[in-house]
């Protein structure tokens, strides 16, 4: 799997370089003709004409080499960006949940998970007893309303079953 991933990255870099190289042939011709005032509007030129112009005209050749150098730099930057994924230290929140720890000088926020000892200071806690008469009444009222809603939905054909 890892080898396949690396091969795919190299193939992508090579494809990008080849596409940019092909583009630079046409782009350098269009820009050269525009700068030398041979054309007022860039247009499509046959590949044979483009290559012949690159080989015979020195200024065109230098422009093409600049484009090619840019394509090479862009491909190298792409290859370097593939070289290593960003890896940050992780903080365990639950056995299945990890979040990145804060790093740097808080440029992107300084949120932290509250420590257990600070939770009681920041939040009031209330223990709810489901056997309390108030809650039992509310639960029963909710069940009754749910039954009424189901009955009305069945009448209107919105609920099957």
What's the pLDDT at 35?
Answer: 86
Number of other residues whose CB lies within 10 A of the CB of residue 51 = 13
Q: Output the CA angle 76-78-79, nearest 5 degrees.
A: 65
> Quick one: pLDDT at residue 107?
61
**Res 117: pLDDT:** 83
pLDDT for residue 137:
94
What pLDDT does 144 receive? 95
Instruction: Return the residue matching tokens 């009681």.
Output: 120
Residue 100's φ and ψ, nearest 5 degrees, are -65, 140
Collect all residues with Cβ–Cβ distance below 8 Å to 25 and sequence separation of at least 6: 47, 50, 51, 54, 64
Q: How far apart are CA 25 and CA 51, in angstroms?
A: 7
Tell the burial category of 59 from Cβ atoms under 10 Å away from its Cβ (0-12, 13-18, 19+): exposed
First-to-last alpha carbon distance for the chain, in angstroms, is 49
User: pLDDT by residue (tens digit) across 84-101?
Assistant: 777 778 888 888 888 877
The reported pLDDT for the residue numbered 20 is: 93
List pLDDT tens digits, range 103-151: 766 666 666 777 788 888 888 888 888 889 999 999 999 999 999 999 8
Looking at residue 21, its pLDDT comes to: 93
- Report the alpha-carbon distance of residue 119 to residue 124 in Å, rounded: 9
- Tens digit of each residue's pLDDT (9 = 90 or more) over 3-23: 787 888 889 999 999 999 999
DSSP one-letter string for 91-108: EEEETTEEEEPP-TTSTT
Taking the C-alpha atoms of 36, 38, 24 and 74 in order, what is their torsion angle to the nearest 10 degrees?
A: 40
Entry pTM = 0.51
CA dist 148 and 154 (Å) reads: 10
What b/e readout covers 93-110, taking b as 16+ CB neighbours within 10 angstroms? eeeeeeeeebeeeeeeee
pLDDT in tens, 25-72: 998 998 898 888 887 777 888 889 889 999 999 999 999 999 999 999
pLDDT at 115: 79
Reported confidence tier of residue 24, pLDDT bands at 50, 70, 90: very high
pLDDT of residue 67: 94
| pLDDT at 152 > cutoff 70 | yes
């Amino acid at each position: 799997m890892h080898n396949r991933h690396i091969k795919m990255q190299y193939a992508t870099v090579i494809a990008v370089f080849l596409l940019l190289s092909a583009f630079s042939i046409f782009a350098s011709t269009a820009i050269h003709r525009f700068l030398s005032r041979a054309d007022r509007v860039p247009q499509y030129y046959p590949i044979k004409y483009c290559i012949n112009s690159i080989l015979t005209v020195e200024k065109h050749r230098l422009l093409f080499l600049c484009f090619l150098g840019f394509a090479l730099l862009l491909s190298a930057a792409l290859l370097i960006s593939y070289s290593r994924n960003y890896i940050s230290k992780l903080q365990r929140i639950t056995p299945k949940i990890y979040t990145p720890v804060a790093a740097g000088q808080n440029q992107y926020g300084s949120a932290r998970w509250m420590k257990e000892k600070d939770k009681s200071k920041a939040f009031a806690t209330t223990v709810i007893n489901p056997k309390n008469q108030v809650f039992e009444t509310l639960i029963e009222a909710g069940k009754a309303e749910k039954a009424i809603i189901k009955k009305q939905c069945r009448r209107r054909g919105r609920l099957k079953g």
